[in-house]
A and B are shown apart, each in its own frame.
Chain A
Amino acid sequence: MSAEGRFRFVGVRVGRKDGVLKATGRATYAYDVWLPGMLHGRILKSPYAHAEVRVDATEAERMGAVVLTPRDVPDVLFNPRLVSVEEDTFKDWRVLTDHPRYVGEPVAAVAAASEEAAQRALEAVRLEPVRVYRPLLDPFEATRPGSPAIHERVMRGGAWVDVEDNVACTLEYSEGDVDRALSEADVVIERRFHTNRRYHLQPEPKVAVSRPDPDGGVTVWTTTQTVHNTKILISQVFGIPQSKVRVKKVFLGGGFGSSIHTNLVTLVAVALSRKARRPVRMALTREEDMMHDHVSFEMHMRIRAGAKRNGRLSGAEFENVMDIGAHQIQPYPLLGTALGWFVSLYKWGAIRYFGRAVYTNKVPSCALRGYGNPQVTWAVETVVDELAEELEMDPVEFRLKNYVGKGDLFWGQGPTVKSIIRSDGVPELMRRGAELIGWRNRPRPGEQTGRYRRGIGVARGFHTSGAGGPLSGSVIDYSGAFLKVNEDGSVDYVTALQDHGGGTLDAHAKIIAEELCIPLEKVNVVWSDSSTTVYDVCTHASRGVYVGGEAARRAAREVKRKILEYAVRILNVAVGPEALRMRYDEELKDAVIYVEGSDAQTTLSEVARTAWQRNWGSISASVSFRATAAPPSFTAYFVEVEVDTETGRVRPVRVVAGADIGTVINPELAEGQVQGGFVMGWGWAVLEDTPYNPETGALENMGFITDYKVPTAGDIPPIEDFRVIFADTYEPTGPFGAKGIGEAASNPVAAAVANAIYDAIGIRFYELPITPERILRALRERERQGRESAQERGGGLS
C-alpha cells in the first residue's frame, strides 16, 4: 500500500542512512578488518570429487606456517545452518575432512604472515589419495544400488542415522484422496521439470577474521546473515561458552542466502587462529567462492494435476527430488517448505507429496533468494498455464479462481507453520497488470511467423514474511530489539539483524521514527555484535522488515510508554499517561507531547533532559518478539519477450511487476528489490547454470565468471518499459501494515518468462535455463515433426 499521507516517515522517499559511508568507501566490510599481528590463512581444497586422502604437512610446517589438518579440528559433526529445531537438524559436516566429498571441500589450512607466504606453504602441503571413488553427479544415479556411499551415516540431532542409497532425508504428505480426485478430473496433465544449479554471485566473496581472546574465547568478523547463529555454531563446534564468542556485525556485500549459514571459512579461521594464538584472516577469491562454497538447490520435479470443466482444481501430486550436493545445508526443512510453496499457490483439492533430498558429489546447495520457491513456482505456474489452456480459460481468470488468498489457511513455510491470510492484493495486481501490459491483445501461442516473435507471459507467486506462526513448529523464528533514549532525546537502536544491502535497517529506523515522532536523523543504528544484542534468527525468509521491524516497533512502543510516564511528571495537569498524545513537529524537529484541548505541552528532548538532570533514570526497552504469522507477500509478473528464431536468443521487451507488500515503507528500495528480483529471475530463466565435468566432478567453468554470466543493465528493458506497481493493502500483523519483499520479488520471474516464450513460439520448456541453444533445438525439432506429419498426411491421402 502506498503510505503517502498516512504516515510521517514510513513511505517517504529519503536518502539511505549508509549511503555516504558506502559511496565514500568508508563502510567497513569483513574484508576491511585488519588487526595487529594478524596472520593470513589459505584453505587446501580437495581436487577430488570423492576420495579418502592423507595429508602431509611436514614441508609447510618446516616453512614456518601454522598448519591445520583434519586431525587438528574438533571431532564434531554439524550443520552450518541453524534454523530447524535440534531434533530436526541433520549433521554431516566437519571443519576439515580427510574424506572430501566434492571438488573444493576443505581438507587442510595454513596461516602465515602474508597471503603469499600462506599460499606458498599451502602449495607445499602434500595430499595423497588413499582411495578415490567414482563421482556421482546425478541424484538418480546416486540412488541406484551399487553406487558408492557418499555418507555412511550422519547425525540427526544427537543420534546417528544410517544413510541408505545416498538419500539424505525424505518427507511425504497427503491430504484427501488424490487418486480419486484425479480420476474424476476433466483434464489432467503431468509434467516433469528440471532446474538449473545456480551460483549466488553475491558481490562480496566470503571473508572471516578471527581473533583468539585472552579469556579463551574468540572475536569474529565475517560475512554472515546471522551473528547469533554463527555464535552458537562456533560455540557448539569448539566447545566455547557463548558468552565468550563475539560475532561482530560488519557491512555485508549482498547475501541472497549465501551467508544464511555459517560459512565454512569462518570455522576454519577460528580453528586456525586458536592454533596460531594470533588473529587470522581468510578471504576467498571469487573462483573459490563459486567453485567450492555454495549453489542453489537443483530440483527434479514432477507434477500431476487435474481440474474440472468448471475451472476448479481438484487434485495434485507433487514429487520433488533435490540434488543437494555433498552435504546438508538444511534440505530437510526445504522438503517441507517446497511443499508449502506448492500448496500455498493454489487450492489443489486433494494433494500427495513425495520429497527426497539426495546426496551427490557436487558443491552443496543452500538457500538462494526464495529457498526453492522460484523452482517450485516455475513448475506450478507452467502447469497452471497449461491447465488453463486445456480448459480454454483465460490464464489470469483461472489463477484468480484457484489461488490461495484472504481468509484461507496458509502454510507457506511448510506444514508446521500455519496461519490465516489477512491481506491479499492478488486480484488487484492481476487485473491492473493485465491491463497495463495489454494482456487481452497478446499474441496467440505459436501463431506468429518471421524471425522475431513476441509473446506475453504471466506468473504469480508469493513469499512468506518470515517463518513465524501461532505454534512453535520445527523452525526457529523470533527476533528482538533494544532501544534507548539518550539524554538529548535522540535514540540508539541495537539490533542483531543484518542489512544485506537492501536497506532493511533503514526501514527499521523509519518505523522507530514513526512510532516516536522523531526525525530519522535522531535514530542511530548501532553497529553491534552477538554479545550486545538480543537473539534474532537470521535476516532471511523476507522477514527483516516484517519480523525485525515489528520487534523494533514494539521496543519503540515500550519506550514511548515510558516517555509518557515521565512526561506526566512534567505536564502534571494531565491525569495520567493515557491523557497524553505525541506528534512530530516539523519546526522543532522533535516529538511534541501534549494534552488535547489544552496548552500543556513538552517535547521528547525536554523529557529526556529532565530525566537525566533530575536523576529519574534512563528510558530504554528490550524486547524479544515472536511473530504469530508469516503472511504472504504476493507478486504478479507480466513479461513480454522477443525470441530471435534464427539464434534462439530471447530479450525482455516490457515488464509489469506487481507486488503486494502491505505498507510500502521504503518506496525506492522496494522498487529496487522488484527490479533486482526481475533481473535475477531473468538470469535463472535464460542464462545461469553450473555444469560439471562428468569425469573429474569439477565445475566446467572452474569458478570463473567468464563462463557464469548474469544479466546486466544492458540485458533488461529500459526503465520506462519496466513498471512496478504496489497493491493497496495493509497487513494488520505487520509493522504499520508492512510485509516482506526480497524473495517474492523474484519467485515468479522464471515462470513468467517461460510462459512468455511459450506465447511467442508455442513451445514449452521443462528444463532451465532456457538457453538460446535449447530454444533453437526445440524450434528445429518442431519443424522436423511438422515435416514428418505433413508427409504422413500426404501418404495417407494417396
Chain B
Amino acid sequence: MLPEFEYHRPASLEEAVRLLSELGPDAKVIAGGTDLVVKMRAGLVSPRHVVDLSRLTEIRFIRDEGDRLKIGAGTTLWEIENSREVARGVPVLREAVEEMASWHVKTTATIGGNLCNASPAADAAPPLMVHDATLVVVGPEGRREVPIGEFFTGPGQTVLGVGEILAEVVVPKMRRGQGAAFEKLTVREGALSIASAAALVEISGGRFVDARVALGAVAPTPIRALKVERALKGRPATREILRSASREAKADIKPITDVRGSREYREEMSVVLVRRALERAVERAGGAWA
C-alpha cells in the first residue's frame, strides 16, 4: 500500500518552486506518477509531501523553433509519440517512445518524469543524448541550463537541487545528411530495457563526419559511448569500420547483473544494439555506404 503523504497542487511553476523550497528534501514532485507511485508502493521512497505538477500547462507543450524543438517537461509520452514536430525534428525520440510501456502508461507518463527519475534504463535519454539536448531547470535561484550529458549523476540521481524543477527540454533538430535510430532489447514488448542504444550519424563524402552513440541500462546512468564515436569519426562509412567500432561499446559501459539480465549478456548486447542502431542510422542518413 501507499505510505501516507500530504498532497499539494500548485497552480503555477513559480508556486511549485516556492512550495518545494519551503517543504525541503521531504517533498517529491509528481508528474504522471508512473515511476514515483511504483517506488512508493515498493517502499523505496516515502516522501512526506507530494507536489503535483500535472496541472501546470506552462510546462506542457511542444514548440518548433526553427532549428530546435522545445518540449515541456510535463508533456506526456503519448503527446510526443503523436507529435508531427517530434516525428520530423527528432524522429529517434519518437522511435524510442513508441517502444516504451503501453498506451495506458504513456497517456500519463511524462518526458520530464522519465528523465528526472534518472533510471539507467530511461528510454528517452539515449535519443536526447545523441541530439545533444539541453535541459532547462527552474529553481529558487532562477533558471539554468544543463547539457543532458551532465544531468544524470547516478542511478535515480540528477543534478537537481532542492526546489528545482525540470521545465523543458531543448533539442536541436536533425539536419539534412544526418540519420538516427534507436534499438531496445527487452524480455517482452513494452517492457523495461535490458539494454538500449541510440545512434546519430552524419555522412559526407563517404565518411562519418559526425557520430554520436548513447546507451541505456548498461551503466549507472544513460551514457554516451565515446570510444565508439571516436572509432567512427572521420573514418570511411564502411560496414567493417562500423562493426569494429561497435565492439568498442564494451569499453564504454559498466553494466551490472540484475533480474533483467547479467553483466555478460548486457556487454554482448550493447555491441549488437550499437551496431544495429548505427547501421540503421547510416541507412537513414542517405544509406551511402562507402
Question: B42's closest neighbor in chain A, by CB?
Answer: A702
Cα A119 to Cα B191 in complex, Å, equals 31
Q: Say if the beta carbon of A389 comes within 8 Å of chain B.
A: no
Q: Check B1–A285 contact: CB distance below 8 A.
A: yes
A-chain residues with CB within 8 Å of residue B38 when the two chains form the complex:
704, 706
Q: Check A772–B187 contact: CB distance below 8 A.
A: yes
User: Given the interface contacts A709-B188, A714-B189, A773-B265, does A701 sit within 8 Å of B259 by beta carbon?
Assistant: yes
Q: Check A709–B268 contact: CB distance below 8 A.
A: no
Q: Check A714–B190 contact: CB distance below 8 A.
A: yes
Distance in Å: Cβ of A687 to nearest Cβ of chain B: 6
Distance in Å: Cβ of B217 to nearest Cβ of chain A: 13
B-chain residues with CB within 8 Å of residue A115 when the two chains form the complex:
1
Q: Which of A715-747 contact B (CB under 8 A)?
A: 715
Q: Check A646–B272 contact: CB distance below 8 A.
A: yes
Q: Say if the beta carbon of A116 comes within 8 Å of chain B.
A: yes
Cα A692 to Cα B41 in complex, Å, equals 20
Q: Check A647–B269 contact: CB distance below 8 A.
A: yes
Task: Tell me which of A120, A687, A700, A714 contacts B259 (CB under 8 A).
Answer: A700
Q: Check A773–B262 contact: CB distance below 8 A.
A: yes
B-chain residues with CB within 8 Å of residue A702 when the two chains form the complex:
42
Distance in Å: Cβ of B160 to nearest Cβ of chain A: 24
B-chain residues with CB within 8 Å of residue A691 when the two chains form the complex:
259
Question: A772's closest neighbor in chain B, by CB?
Answer: B187
Main secondary structure, interface of B, reads loop
Task: Tell me which of B1, B259, B260, B272 contacts A647 (CB under 8 A).
Answer: B272
Q: Say if the beta carbon of B214 comes within 8 Å of chain A.
A: no
Q: Say if the beta carbon of B73 comes within 8 Å of chain A.
A: no
Q: Say if the beta carbon of B261 comes within 8 Å of chain A.
A: yes
Cα A120 to Cα B1 in complex, Å, equals 10
B-chain residues with CB within 8 Å of residue A647 when the two chains form the complex:
185, 269, 272
Q: Say if the beta carbon of B4 comes within 8 Å of chain A.
A: yes
Range of interface residues on chain B? 20 to 34
Q: Say if the beta carbon of B192 comes within 8 Å of chain A.
A: yes
Task: Tell me which of B185, B189, B260, B272 contacts A712 (CB under 8 A).
Answer: B189
Q: Which of B189-248 contact A (CB under 8 A)?
A: 189-192
Distance in Å: Cβ of A116 to nearest Cβ of chain B: 7
User: Given the interface contacts A115-B1, A700-B259, does A706 sit within 8 Å of B188 by beta carbon?
Assistant: no
Cα A714 to Cα B101 in complex, Å, equals 12
Question: B44's closest neighbor in chain A, by CB?
Answer: A702
Cα A712 to Cα B191 in complex, Å, equals 11
Question: A286's closest neighbor in chain B, by CB?
Answer: B41
Cα A702 to Cα B44 in complex, Å, equals 11
Question: A42's closest neighbor in chain B, by CB?
Answer: B1
Q: Check B188–A687 contact: CB distance below 8 A.
A: yes
A-chain residues with CB within 8 Å of residue B262 when the two chains form the complex:
773
Cα A714 to Cα B189 in complex, Å, equals 7
A-chain residues with CB within 8 Å of residue B259 when the two chains form the complex:
691, 700-701, 707
A-chain residues with CB within 8 Å of residue B1 when the two chains form the complex:
42, 115, 119, 285
Q: Say if the beta carbon of A390 comes within 8 Å of chain B.
A: no
Q: Check A287–B272 contact: CB distance below 8 A.
A: no
Q: Check B4–A120 contact: CB distance below 8 A.
A: yes
Task: Tell me which of A285, A287, A706, A777 contacts B192 (CB under 8 A).
Answer: A706
Distance in Å: Cβ of A18 to nearest Cβ of chain B: 25
Distance in Å: Cβ of B231 to nearest Cβ of chain A: 20
A-chain residues with CB within 8 Å of residue B191 when the two chains form the complex:
709
B-chain residues with CB within 8 Å of residue A687 when the two chains form the complex:
187-188
Distance in Å: Cβ of A741 to nearest Cβ of chain B: 26
User: Given the interface contacts A646-B272, A773-B262, does A116 sit within 8 Å of B187 by beta carbon?
Assistant: no
B-chain residues with CB within 8 Å of residue A119 when the two chains form the complex:
1
A-B residue pairs, 9 tightest by C-beta = A714-B189, A709-B188, A773-B265, A646-B272, A707-B259, A700-B259, A119-B1, A709-B187, A709-B191
B interface list, Cβ under 8 A from A: 1, 4, 38, 41-42, 185, 187-192, 259-262, 265, 268-269, 272
13 contacts between A and B (CB under 8 A): A115-B1, A120-B4, A646-B272, A647-B272, A649-B185, A704-B38, A709-B188, A709-B191, A710-B188, A711-B188, A712-B189, A772-B265, A776-B268
A interface list, Cβ under 8 A from B: 42, 115-116, 119-120, 285, 287, 646-647, 649, 687, 691, 700-702, 704, 706-707, 709-712, 714-715, 771-773, 776-777
6 new A-B contacts at CB < 8 Å, known A285-B41, A691-B259, A706-B192: A120-B4, A687-B187, A687-B188, A709-B188, A711-B188, A712-B190
